[in-house]
């Protein structure tokens, strides 16, 4: 595990231990890079991401400074300014503009796909049976079919 210098005696403090300086027994040996507040290992934002070369942030400063990539355009943005989408345990981040654009595309594609599914299934039902009630019932199969076809365009 990486070690950071203690803010009191400058001795290296192991981030994998209990977060107490072994030399001077300081219980808050870490310092937030942004607000310079002294803190213990439990107050460090995302201690599992600590490396010797990264800055240390407290819980209050950390989430606003973490950079993530937008799933739509790939440009970095800060996590607090992002739209966070979590599907099946996976997190994706979007710029608000990119998310609304992707959502509009998804709604349009879904509407077109559902409409096409209704028409195609209804037409097939009519051609097979030459009976309008059967055609209407079969056209209802177009709803899940169209929704399934539009799924790849959903923001995820």
Give residue for tokens 């002294």: 38
SS3 146: helix
In a domain, 54, yes or no: yes
Are 3 and 52 part of one and the same domain?
A: yes
pLDDT of 125 strictly over 60: yes
Among the residue ranges 48-52, 136-140, 149-153, the one predicted with the least confidence is: 48-52
For residue 87, list its beta bridge partners: 90
Inside any domain, residue 111: yes
User: Which residues constitute the domain of residue 117?
Assistant: 103-153
H/E run at residue 80 = none
DSSP 81-136: GSEEEEETTEEEEE-HHHHHHHHHHHHHHHHHHHHHHHHHHHHHHHHHH--HHHHH
- pTM for this entry: 0.47
Domain presence at residue 33: yes
Q: Quick check: 57 and 34 in contact, CB under 8 A? A: yes
- Structure tokens of 43? 């107050």
In percent, how much of the chain has pLDDT > 70? Answer: 83
Phi (first) and psi of residue 143, to 5 degrees:
-60, -60
Structure tokens at 56: 């240390």
* In-domain check, residue 20: yes
């Amino acid at each position: 595990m990486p070690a950071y210098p203690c803010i009191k005696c400058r001795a290296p403090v192991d981030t994998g231990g209990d977060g107490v300086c072994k030399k001077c027994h300081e219980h808050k040996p870490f310092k937030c890079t942004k607000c310079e507040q002294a803190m213990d290992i439990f107050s460090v934002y995302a201690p599992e991401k600590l490396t010797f070369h990264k800055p240390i942030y407290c819980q209050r400063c950390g989430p606003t400074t973490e950079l993530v990539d937008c799933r739509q355009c790939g440009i970095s943005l800060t996590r607090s300014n992002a739209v966070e989408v979590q599907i099946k345990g996976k997190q994706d981040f979007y710029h608000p503009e990119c998310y609304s654009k992707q959502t509009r595309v998804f709604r349009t594609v879904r509407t077109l796909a559902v409409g096409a599914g209704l028409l195609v299934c209804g037409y097939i039902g009519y051609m097979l049976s030459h009976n309008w009630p059967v055609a209407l019932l079969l056209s209802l199969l177009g709803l899940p079919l169209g929704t399934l076809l539009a799924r790849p365009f959903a923001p995820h």
